Amino acid sequence: MSELLEGLNKEQLEAVTMGDGPLLVLAGAGSGKTRVLTHRIAYLIKERGVAPWNILAITFTNKAASEMKERLKNICGADSESMWVKTFHSACVAILRKNADLLGFKSGFNIYDDSDQKTLIKECMKGLNIDDEKFPVKSCLALISDAKNKMILPEDFLSEYGDDYLKSMYQKVYACYQEKLKSNNAMDFDDLIMLTVKLFKENPNVLDYYRDKFKYVLVDEYQDTNNTQYQLVSLLCSEHRNICVVGDDDQSIYKFRGADIRNILNFEKEFPDAKVIRLEQNYRSTQYILDSANSVISNNMGRKGKNLWTDLGYGEKIKLYTADNEYAEADFIAAKIVGLKKDYKLSDMVVLFRTNNQSRVLEERFRYMGIPHKLLSGLRFYDRKEIKDILAYLRVIVNPEDDISVMRSINEPKRGIGKTSMERAREIADKHGISLYDSIVNYYDEIGKSGEKMKEYAAIIEELRQEAETMPLGEFVEKVIKKSGYYTSLTLQDDFESKSRLENLGELVSGAKGFEESEAENASLRNYVDSISLVSDIDNYDEDTDTVTLMTIHMAKGLEFPVVFISGCEDGIFPSERAKYEEDGLEEERRLAYVAITRARRQLFMTNASSRRVFGKTERHLKSGFVTEIPASCIEDLTIKQNNNVMAKVSFTNTKPKPQEINFAAFAKQAAGGQVFNYKVGDRVKHKKFGEGTVIEAQSVGNDVRLKVNFDAVGEKNLMAVYANLEII
C-alpha cells in the first residue's frame, strides 16, 4: 500500500483513498489527474477488494485510454486485463454488439464516418426531391447530430426545433436517414451513445446487468460530456452511486460538439452528498505561465474556481510580440524556433492557432526556412482514398447489408459498372425490400449488361468472407488488396501517385498486423474495422517525430510542450468575432485561451499582427483582450527589442513575400545559436548517425545551407546544415 500511495500530494491522496459514494475531482491542468484515476482504480482493487471486472473507466480518446491501460498494467499486472478502460464510443460499441437485436439491428453493424454520413444524407435528399444547395448537407448533419446528442428522435424533432418549412425539410431527411442507417445495418457516431441510452431505458434487464457489472464507474474529462453521455453515466450509477468524475470546468472547450459544461457545474445538485476535491498543484508549468492562466480564467463567471500553483519556480516571463502582418508574425516565430534549437528538440515546440486557415502562412515560411514541421489537422491516414476503398471492402465482408460500402467498393478498381446499372440494382433492392448486395447476388441477370461484372464482384466478396474466418488478420487484409484487383490496378498505372498509394496500402497491412499482435485473441476482422472507425485525429499524434507541430488549440488539449507559440492573439481572431454574439461565447473562448496557455511547460510566446488578410480582405485588429488580462508583471514585450534587428525591419506587404525580398543574413548567426556555415563542395564531414562523408552539393537557403552529402556507409543524404550539426574533418 505504501508504494501505491507514495508520492501523492494531500489532495491526490484524499481522492485516491476515498470510499464509496459520489466523488468530483476538479483537476487543474497538469495536476496529475491520470495518476489519480489509475491509482484510485488500483486502490479499489488492492485495498478495497473490488473485482477488476466490476470497474468501468471511461475517457474520450484512444490515446488517453491507452495511456491509462498501460499505467494500470504496470500497477495492477494481470488484473488490469479484465477491467473496462474504454472511450465512451468503444464502450457503447461493446454493449451494442451484444444487444443490437433489441434495437432492430444485427450485431455486425458498421459504423459510419463523416464521409459515409454525407453520402447517405445526399441519397435521402435525392429520394425526397430536396435540393442540397438550398438545404446544405453539412447543416443538416449538424442539426441531426445536435438532436441525437439531446436524445431527440425524428418524431420529436419539430416540437423541439420548430415547425417551420426549413426545419420540416430537415426532419424529413432525419427520418429517412435513420431508416436507411437501419436498413444498411449501420450506426453513426452519435447513434452509438444515443442508442445505448435508448437500449437501457427500454430494457431494464439489460440496464440491471450492466449496473451490476460496473459497480464502480470513473469518468475522465467529465466537462466534455454531452447530454447523452451524461444520461448514460447517470443510468449506470443511479443505484450504487459509486461514481468518480474527474475534470476541469475551466477546460470545457467543446460546446460546438455538444459538450455541456453544466454537467460538471451541476454535479453536486445531482449528488448533494458528493465529495469535492480540488487538485491545484501543477507539475507541468512554471509559475509565470500559471499566473497568466489563472488571471485570464478568473474573468469567467461560470466556473467552480481554483488557483494553480507549482514548486517549479517562476521561470521565464511570457514573451509577447506584435508584428506588422501575418507574414512578419510567421517570420518571427520561425526565427525563434531556429534560435531555440540549441536548447530544445524541434518536437519540443508547437505553434497553436485558433482556426485552421492560419496555418497556411506559417507552413509557407517554415518550408522556406527549411524547418521540419507537421500540420496536425490535415488528411487522416484512414481518410485517404485508397485506404477508404479497401476499408469499404472490409466493411462489406463483415456486413453485406452496408449499401454505402457496396457502392464505394463495387467499382474500385474500375470494372465497367456504370451509374445506370447501379440505379437498376437499387430499384430491384427497393422492389424486393432487400439490401443492394442481395439484389446483386440474387438478381444480377435482371440488372443488364453490367450484371455479370456485379456477379464477379459478389463472388470475390463471398470468397473473402469465407477466408476471413481462418486467415490471420494481416495476411487477410493483404489478400483483400490483391484479390480485389486494387494492387494490380495501381501497379499497372506505374506513376508517382500510384506508388504512393501502394505504400499507404502497405502501411495499412502493417497496421493490421500490429493490431493482430497487440489484441491477440481479440484480433478479429470485426474488431479491427471497429478500431479504425473509432480513431480520432489526435490518436495519430507521434511525439517521437522530431518536427515542429502546428495545430489548432482544440486539438492540443491533453498535450503539453516545453515551448508553445500562440499565434493570432487578436480580437476578431482569438477571441473569434462570432463568440462576442453567442451566449457564453466569450467564456468558452476564454477557456480556450486557458487551455492554450497551460500547454506550455517552460516558455510561452504569444504573437499578434497589426493587420491580417482574412478571406481576401485586409483587416486591422486590436491585441486580444485575453492578452490584456495577463498581469504586466508576467509579460516581456519583445516587439521593441525585435525591431532593432534586420529581420523585423523588413517591410512586408499584405501579399505573399518573394524569398529574395527577405534578408535573413543579419540575424542568421544569432538565430542559429552563433553558428556560421562555410561548407563547400569537397569538404569531408562527420555526422553523429551517418558517420563520415563528402559534401557533393551546397546551396544557400535563407539563413541555412542545403547540403547533399555522400556518406561512406549509407550513401547520399540531403540535409539542412542548421539541423545536421556536421563536423568538418
List, by residue number, the catalytic residues.
33-34, 220-221, 251, 599
Taking the mean position of all CA atoms in its chain, how far away is CA 350? 16
| Residue 514 neighbours by CB distance under 10 Å | 13
Q: Nearest Cα to 595, choosing from 552, 648, 655? A: 552
| Strand-strand pairing, 611-614 and 243-247 | unpaired
The 10 Å Cβ neighbour count of residue 191 is 23
Q: Residue 594 class from Cβ within 10 Å (0-12 exposed, 13-18 middle, 19+ buried)?
A: buried
**CA-wise closest residue to 653 among 611, 607, 608:** 611
Spatial separation of the C-alpha atoms in residues 420 and 488, rounded to whole Å: 26
Q: Which are the contacts of 287, defined by CB distance < 8 A and separation ≥ 6?
A: 309, 310, 312, 313, 314, 315
Q: Are the CB atoms for 206 and 99 separated by under 8 Å?
A: yes
Report the 10 Å Cβ neighbour count for 573: 22
What SS3 class is residue 122? helix
SS3 624: coil
One-letter-per-residue 3-state SS of 48-87: CCCCHHHEEEEECCHHHHHHHHHHHHHHHHHHHHHCEEEE
Rounded-to-integer distance, Cα 657 and Cα 651, Å? 10
Per-residue b/e over 309-348, b at no fewer than 16 CB within 10 Å? ebebeebebbbbbbbbbbbbbbbbbbbbbbebbeeeebbb
Amino acid at 216: Y
With cell 464482384, the residue in question is: 457
**Closest listed residue to residue 707, CA positions, set 688, 687, 724, 728:** 724
**Given the C-alpha cell 473562448, which residue does it identify?**
589
Phi and psi of 383, rounded to 5°?
Answer: -100, -5
Contact 293, 251 (CB under 8 A): no
Q: Is the CB of residue 550 less than 8 Å from the CB of residue 375?
A: yes
Torsion of CA 542, 545, 546, 549, to 10 degrees: -40
Q: What are phi and psi of 458, to 5 degrees?
A: -65, -35
Burial 250-262 (b: 16+ CB within 10 A, else e): bbbbbbeebbbbb
- Rounded Cα distance between 540 and 511, Å, is 12
Backbone torsions φ then ψ of 91, nearest 5 degrees = -65, -45
Q: What are phi and psi of 324, to 5 degrees?
A: -65, -40
Alpha carbon of residue 75 to chain centroid: 28
DSSP 29: T
Angle at 447 (CA atoms; ends 444, 451), nearest 5 degrees: 50
Q: How far apart are CA 416 and CA 41, in angstroms?
A: 57
